[in-house]
Amino acid sequence: MTQSTAPTPLSYKDAGVDIDAGDALVERIKPLAKKTMREGVLAGIGGFGALFEVPKRYKEPVLVSGTDGVGTKLKLAFEWNMHDTVGIDLVAMSVNDVLVQGAEPLFFLDYFACGKLDVDTAAAVVGGIAKGCELSGCALIGGETAEMPGMYPSGEYDLAGFAVGAVEKSKILTGASVAAGDVVLGLASSGVHSNGFSLVRKCIERAGADTPALLDGKPFKEALMEPTRLYVKNVLAALAAHPHEADAASGGIKALAHITGGGLLENIPRVLPEGMAAHLVKGSWPQTELFAWLQKTAGIDDIEMNRTFNNGIGMVVVVDAAAAEACAATLRASGETVYTIGRIAAKGEQASVVVA
């Protein structure tokens, strides 16, 4: 008679999932999330669901949501071991989108997925997420850390997140009132932000060892990894100071456009009413050393630059001509670098965005 042998016990850790490491990460995250708490938070990190109450100062609140990731910029974070700022990128990509509707970001949740959890790396990433939330005035109230053996190569991870904001129904920015003669202001970007990195990485590959030591006064790698600028607090202040009333003849900010994938040529038309076009003046904002290097290395023309990268302008503000100078002054006083880059005109036969 053959004696049966009991199988060797297998734990979740044997299968590649370390519950203790996950618990350690949660403990590291808690003080970071605590710094982002704000009015409205009822329950945050640790529960099955995060609770948030829309502030009572809103009379007719409309919720605005946005979701995004960081894209292939993460490949450089892995290669260069630079993990502390990609979390800011993650937050910025969503909160800047929510801002475009005139909304104040209220809270943010993230999703961090990896094959094997490295607590130090994950804590650095989430530290950036918390920093982005803190700078945007929005609460980090929850998230998910997924350790999935075999799904991701060693040392790599993926990030996603979403933000929810609120705006008074009467103050939603739709762009419907944009008209010929309105001024287009451009707010400077901090760099490439988080779009176009598939081409950026090709440029790095093409350059090989022949990359510049510095770009715009920063070491090469830092210049490329500079996180996406968070426009939330400064633009919300400008919206409060220069509101546009739908039934008024003139005045105020009429539309915002976050310049992400598709650049200036693809994003500005998203906030223009039918029959309107943006005429941008070539050279009205400077090309930084970073974008000049990318254009030269890639060997592409101005059109391709303006439809691939933000090319130096991370947020566009369309404002009534009568309020343009005051609006620009408000934004500059808060720390934004502002350029008058064009005007709105009837579209006619031309494209929705013309740079000439």
Q: Note whether residue 336 is domain-resident.
A: yes
pLDDT at 246 over 70: no
Question: Using CA atoms, how far apart are residues 348 and 91, in angstroms rounded to an integer?
Answer: 38
Segment 45-93, tens digit of pLDDT: 777 888 999 999 999 999 999 999 999 999 999 999 999 999 999 999 9
Q: Note whether residue 6 is domain-resident.
A: no
Q: Note whether residue 2 is domain-resident.
A: no
Predicted model pTM:
0.93
Say if residue 299 is in the same domain as residue 323. yes
Segment 271-287, tens digit of pLDDT: 999 999 999 999 999 99
- The beta strands (E) that lie in the chain are given as 41-43, 51-52, 61-69, 104-114, 139-147, 157-168, 183-188, 214-215, 218-219, 253-258, 276-280, 313-319, 338-346, 353-355
Backbone angles phi, psi at 308, to 5 degrees: -110, -45
Q: Which amino acid is at 38?
A: R
Least confident piece of the model among 154-163, 230-239, 243-252:
243-252
Selected residue with higher pLDDT from 48 and 257: 257
- Choose the final residue of a domain: 171, 197, 216: 171
Say if residue 118 is in the same domain as residue 190. no
Domain range for 317 is: 183-355
CATH number at residue 34: 3.30.1330.10
The band of 3, judged by pLDDT with boundaries at 50, 70 and 90, is low
- The beta strands (E) that lie in 216-262 are given as 218-219, 253-258
pLDDT at 117 over 60: yes
Say if residue 189 is in the same domain as residue 338. yes
Q: Reduced to 3 states, what is the DSSP secondary structure of residue 197?
A: helix
Say if residue 148 is in the same domain as residue 35. yes
Residue 233: exposure state from Cβ atoms within 10 A (0-12, 13-18, ≥19): middle
pLDDT given at position 48: 85
pLDDT given at position 27: 87
58: left (phi over 0), alpha (psi -120 to 50) or beta: beta
pLDDT given at position 250: 58
Domain count, the chain: 2
Say if residue 112 is in the same domain as residue 37. yes
Residue located via tokens 């990318």:
294
The band of 21, judged by pLDDT with boundaries at 50, 70 and 90, is confident
Per the DSSP assignment, residues forming a β-bridge with 114 are 147, 157
The answer to whether 187 and 96 are in contact (CB under 8 A) is: no
- Choose the final residue of a domain: 171, 202, 228: 171
Say if residue 199 is in the same domain as residue 312. yes
- Choose the final residue of a domain: 110, 145, 171: 171
Average pLDDT, the chain: 93
pLDDT at 258 over 80: yes
pLDDT given at position 116: 93
Say if residue 51 is in the same domain as residue 106. yes
Which are the contacts of 343, defined by CB distance < 8 A and separation ≥ 6? 181, 182, 183, 184, 278, 279, 321
The band of 194, judged by pLDDT with boundaries at 50, 70 and 90, is very high
pLDDT at 304 over 70: yes
Q: What is the mean pLDDT of residues 232-247?
A: 89
Q: Note whether residue 1 is domain-resident.
A: no
Say if residue 167 is in the same domain as residue 187. no
Q: Note whether residue 9 is domain-resident.
A: no
pLDDT at 103 over 70: yes
Please state the length of the chain: 356
Segment 202-235, tens digit of pLDDT: 999 999 999 999 999 999 999 999 999 999 999 9
Say if residue 303 is in the same domain as residue 156. no
Say if residue 137 is in the same domain as residue 117. yes
CATH number at residue 324: 3.90.650.10
pLDDT given at position 44: 67
Q: Note whether residue 178 is domain-resident.
A: no
